[in-house]
Amino acid sequence: MTLRRRAIRRSAEFARTVDRLAEATGRDRAEVAREARRDLAELSSGVHPLSVRTMDRFGRWLSRAYEIDAAVEGLDDLRRLAAAHPILLVPNHRSYLDAFILRRLLKDHGFPPHYTLAGTNLALFPLSVAARRSGTVYIRRSTRDSPVYPAMLRLYLEHLVRDGASLAWYVEGGRTRTGKLRTPRLGVLRYLVDGMRAAEAGDDAGASGEPYIVPVSIVYDQQAELAALGREESGAQKQAESLRWMVELGRAQGTSRGRAYVRMGTPVSLASCVTSAQVWAGSTAMEKVIPHLGIDVSQRINEVTPVTPAALITFALLDTDGRAVTVPEAGRVLQPLLDYVDLRRIPMTAGISWSTPAELLHVLGTLQREGVVASFTGGSEPVYWVPVERTLEAAFYRNSLSHWFINRAVAETALVMAIRRGGDVVAGTWAAALELRGLLRFEYFFTSTEEFAAQIRDEASLVAPGWEQRAWTAEDALGVLDEARLRTAHHIIGPFLEAYVVVAEQIAALGSGAISSADLLARECVPLARQRYLQRSLPSPESASVAIMANAAKLAEANGLLDDTAPEVGSRRTEFVATLREAVACIEIVRRAAVREMTGDVASPLSRGIGQG
């Protein structure tokens, strides 16, 4: 039995928690106490030098495909902060290697071992024995079966942080399936906040210093895991984790895959994050504060996620109306993108410049070797494209930059919507932007309404300086759209809303009939989207994704459209389809304009599209 586990079992908090659980469940106290002790044993972890060295060596071997590219300027300050405060490292989760990459970086810069939360699906014997003795805490994916386990997890995390230990966990809960951050899972975050508040209220308040959150971004030049992920997102069964699976993962790292880029944000105290979330929520009630806190933490991760070469190239090659593109055509897409990145001072990995074709060809060659990009060199000049079966992998790379362009994409689409609807252009654009924000709330993290309004105004000022001093007509707005060379809507929000239409139409086809489950609905819609792409009634195969369809079903459920007993549900389902179709029609106008511009046809592209709309 570890010292910490023994201390928890002997604590007054443990006794009070067992009493409360016994009373709430009506179970015998001794029975609850036995279950609680078993759960603590399952969670128990420690840091033992021999096991730490063993896991460090294993982690280096497993991540040997990557050279770590890290911004190390603030690591000395972070190490000093960690000596006085618990550090809560919150990385994004793109790969099974994330934990090993982070551990390797911190070890190389003199940090002591930290604890890491991992799913019990990764507790593979005998590796799990050494992992538990080197700071890995295996936690269950679901804690709904019994109220005892989450109570013990909460108690264990409280003691861990109170003892001054540093902890890493994924606020997403699991690996991203699309390349952008997933909706935060709030359980661990809630337990950590509860532990902080309990420490503040107790006799040992501040004994280990207040905890600090450190957002961490890890992105990769290449990822061997994406081929399997693409198959799973197309509907294939996920391969279960096993020792054989671990061996295959290790073998896949025998080839150099470029760099793993690690960026850490400025540490911020958990208390100050909670205060900010309370202001945002307009409440001190934790059930309202914690969701805002989860979004805040996710946004902090996004803010330190750099734009990579692979993200830029896949941005240029995806959603080209089925065309292969030449290097000059790709450059016509990339140059305004890079200009925007420079103007916005968006973080980038070092050495990205398309001043010469050689750099672009180097990145294309890297993606070709991975199979994500194909080429044909038998004509007058080489052309490149993303094979249909690798679209979801390419989109994974591109989506790592999507959070930097979401407001731009919304602004483009909202302006087209306002012009098509007629009336006051400025008011119509803002109304449409709010509609799109609501439709995309399960895909992207948006700020408060006031801050979102400021961001949309800022986007408008980039395209049309001084726009607030002008009286706008539809003709004026069309002129501005035609002059703007950057088109993002079809890349950043098109595949999502186009998938949503498939789900909405499937729901509407039932009239007011019953829907068995959101999960089943999402999985049924993946092959439908695939069929529509093959019939060319859906622009991109990227929409045929389990994760995207799941969020579409979640939006429909949040709007009360899956409840067949809801009033007027049939007509509201039909309205949902119409709303999505309108947004998609406007995105299609942007797409057509972008393709024409890429090929050098820039004569009033958007005006022509809206005129035909």
Minimal CA–CA distance to 505: which of 525, 530, 533, 527? Answer: 525
3-state secondary structure of 218: strand
pLDDT for the residue 170: 95
Q: How far apart are CA 234 and CA 542, in angstroms?
A: 9
Q: Tell whether the model's pLDDT for residue 604 goes beyond 60.
A: no
**Confidence category of residue 3, pLDDT binned at 50, 70, 90:** low
3-state secondary structure of 152: helix
Burial class of residue 377 (count of CB atoms within 10 Å of its CB; 0-12, 13-18, 19+): exposed
Q: Tell whether the model's pLDDT for residue 99 goes beyond 80.
A: yes
| Stated pTM of the model | 0.92
pLDDT for the residue 206: 46
pLDDT > 90 fraction of the chain, expressed in percent and rounded: 57
pLDDT for the residue 423: 86
Q: Which residue has the higher pLDDT, 160 or 499?
A: 499
pLDDT for the residue 611: 53
Burial class of residue 351 (count of CB atoms within 10 Å of its CB; 0-12, 13-18, 19+): exposed
DSSP 162: H
- Range 517-532 average pLDDT: 92
C-alpha distance from residue 412 to each of 308, 498, 598 (Å) = 24, 16, 18
Q: Tell whether the model's pLDDT for residue 303 goes beyond 50.
A: yes
Q: How far apart are CA 350 and CA 365, in angstroms?
A: 18
Q: Tell whether the model's pLDDT for residue 612 goes beyond 50.
A: no
CATH architecture for residues 310-400: Orthogonal Bundle (1.10)
pLDDT for the residue 353: 65
DSSP 122: G
- Range 66-83 average pLDDT: 90
Q: How far apart are CA 455 and CA 447, in angstroms?
A: 9
Q: How far apart are CA 137 and CA 40, in angstroms?
A: 11
* DSSP states along 365-401: HHHHHHTS-EEE-SSSS-EEE--GGGHHHHHHHHHTT
pLDDT for the residue 202: 64
Q: Which residue has the higher pLDDT, 372 or 466?
A: 372
pLDDT for the residue 608: 57
* Token pair of 532 as six digits: 């529509």
Going from N- to C-terminal start, the domains of the chain cover 48-303, 310-400, 405-613
Q: How far apart are CA 450 and CA 552, in angstroms?
A: 26
pLDDT for the residue 1: 44
pLDDT > 70 fraction of the chain, expressed in percent and rounded: 95
| 3-state secondary structure string across 580-594 | HHHHHHHHHHHHHHH
CB contact at 8 A, 538 and 498: yes
pLDDT for the residue 602: 56
Q: How far apart are CA 377 and CA 141, in angstroms?
A: 48
Summary mean pLDDT of the chain: 89
For residues 101-120, one letter each, b for 16 or more C-beta atoms within 10 angstroms of the residue's C-beta and e for the rest, the string is bbbbbbbeeebebbbbbbee
CB contact at 8 A, 230 and 290: no
pLDDT for the residue 523: 92
3-state secondary structure of 167: strand
At position 311, the amino acid (one-letter code) is: A
320's CB contacts (< 8 A; 6+ apart) are 385, 595, 598
- Range 43-60 average pLDDT: 92
Distance from the first to the final alpha carbon of the chain: 70
Helix, strand, coil distribution of the chain in percent, nearest 5: 60, 10, 35
Q: Tell whether the model's pLDDT for residue 404 goes beyond 80.
A: yes
Helix axes 148-162, 29-43, angle to 10 degrees: 50
Q: How far apart are CA 584 and CA 532, in angstroms?
A: 15
What fold is seen in the domain 48-303? Glycerol-3-phosphate (1)-acyltransferase (3.40.1130)
pLDDT digits (tens, 9 = 90+) for 423-470: 888 899 999 999 999 999 999 999 888 899 999 989 888 888 777 777
pLDDT digits (tens, 9 = 90+) for 233-292: 888 888 888 888 888 888 888 888 999 999 999 999 999 999 998 888 888 888 899 999
Q: Tell whether the model's pLDDT for residue 300 goes beyond 70.
A: yes
pLDDT digits (tens, 9 = 90+) for 542-585: 999 999 999 999 999 999 999 888 888 899 999 999 999 999 99
Q: Tell whether the model's pLDDT for residue 17 goes beyond 50.
A: yes
